[in-house]
Amino acid sequence: MMRSTLLVLAGLLGCVASAAAQKGKPTPQPARTAKAVENDSMDFLFLGSDRPVLLRLHVQQGGRPYNAPWDDYMQKLFVYFDKNGDGVLNAKEAQRVPSSQFLLYQFQGVIGLGFQGVPMDQIDTNKDGKVTPEEVKAYYTKNGLGALVTADTSTRATTQEVTKVLYRRLDTNRDRKLSDDELRKAPALLSGLDSNEDEVLTSQELRGNVEGQMMYAVALGDNGGQAIKPTTGLMPITPETSRDGLARQIVAHYDRSKDSKLSRDFG
């Protein structure tokens, strides 16, 4: 937090100094061309409680679309692999392309790992024996590495499971309601689940899962349209995203009557 505050203050001071140097002249802003608007957008579909909502974010870095630095990096990486400089990778050159997992480890600063390459058939998608820059970039995008990847985590599934466990243990008469008498008996009924005897019940202990809390995560952004968990209610829309798949998920989410159709009130 302190570092972020200092960076913001430094940026403000720089703006003040620049304005003083210009003797009050307005600082020109970079033009936001139609191409920049197209390239800097990220679309998401949010499944709200009563209807879906399209969210469009415009993300830039230094006045450039958010994915421009990643494109630059991909180009430099490809040139490094292309030893003979012919603009494509042959089978020998392609052996030096690191797997998406290995490259991710490098970004995270992990050291001491043996090199992990990519089989030729995973990046040479048209099977012509040559790998183009577009194929290398498409491989990383498909496998979760892109210009911007965020994570949306949801504990909804864990919460629902804990609720079911509590009802199953406390609703002794199975009437799907918790009476005053059943709630008064809760300490005695649940005390045996406190495995570490700290007098606090965690969701793991309630569910009999000592491995750790179950979390659902979804990768968002320029990640090749990876599979998403519907529990989050937030879905990225990329050029690779199946429109038919989105439509099916919308219908499945709002079709309360289970007739595979949506009425005007989504019932």
CA distances from 192 to 163, 164, 189 (A): 18, 18, 7
Enclosing domain of residue 173: 156-207
Asked if residue 189 and residue 146 are part of one domain, the reply reads no
CB 197 within 8 A of CB 186: no
DSSP conformation letters of 61-116: ETTEETTHHHHHHHHHHHHHH-TT-SSSB-HHHHTTPBPHHHHHHHHTT--SPPP-
Evaluate whether residue 169 is within a structural domain.
Answer: yes
Asked if residue 229 and residue 138 are part of one domain, the reply reads yes
Q: What is the pLDDT of residue 38?
A: 53
Asked if residue 225 and residue 128 are part of one domain, the reply reads yes
Read off the tokens for 186.
């809760």
Evaluate whether residue 19 is within a structural domain.
Answer: no
Domain count, the chain: 2
Give the torsion sign (CA, 155, 160, 164, 167): positive
CB 255 within 8 A of CB 261: yes
The whole-model pTM stands at: 0.54
Evaluate whether residue 79 is within a structural domain.
Answer: yes
How far, rounded to the nearest angstrom, does the alpha carbon of residue 110 sit from its chain's CA centroid? 21
Asked if residue 232 and residue 195 are part of one domain, the reply reads no
Asked if residue 114 and residue 167 are part of one domain, the reply reads no
Q: What is the pLDDT of residue 156?
A: 65
Asked if residue 143 and residue 68 are part of one domain, the reply reads yes
Evaluate whether residue 90 is within a structural domain.
Answer: yes
Q: What is the pLDDT of residue 7?
A: 35
Evaluate whether residue 15 is within a structural domain.
Answer: no
Q: What is the pLDDT of residue 267?
A: 52
| Closest-CA residue to 229 (of 152, 174, 164, 166) | 152
CB 266 within 8 A of CB 51: yes
Residues of the chain with pLDDT under 70: 1-38, 150-157, 208-233, 265-267
Asked if residue 239 and residue 193 are part of one domain, the reply reads no
Asked if residue 229 and residue 134 are part of one domain, the reply reads yes
Asked if residue 192 and residue 171 are part of one domain, the reply reads yes
Among residues 207, 227, 243, which one ends one of the domains?
207
**108-128 per-position pLDDT tens digit:** 898 888 999 999 999 999 999
CA distance 155 to 163: 12
Evaluate whether residue 35 is within a structural domain.
Answer: no
Asked if residue 111 and residue 198 are part of one domain, the reply reads no
CB 194 within 8 A of CB 206: no
Asked if residue 190 and residue 88 are part of one domain, the reply reads no
Q: What is the pLDDT of residue 56?
A: 92
CA distance 253 to 55: 18
DSSP conformation letters of 104-127: HHHHTT--SPPP-B--HHHH-TT-
Give the torsion sign (CA, 142, 42, 231, 217): positive
CB 8 within 8 A of CB 199: no
> What's the CATH code of the domain at 225?
1.10.238.10
Q: What is the pLDDT of residue 157?
A: 63
Tell me phi and psi for residue 42, to 5 degrees.
-130, 125
Asked if residue 176 and residue 201 are part of one domain, the reply reads yes
Evaluate whether residue 29 is within a structural domain.
Answer: no
Helices (H), the chain: 2-21, 34-39, 68-81, 91-94, 100-107, 120-123, 133-142, 156-170, 180-184, 186-190, 203-207, 243-254
Evaluate whether residue 68 is within a structural domain.
Answer: yes
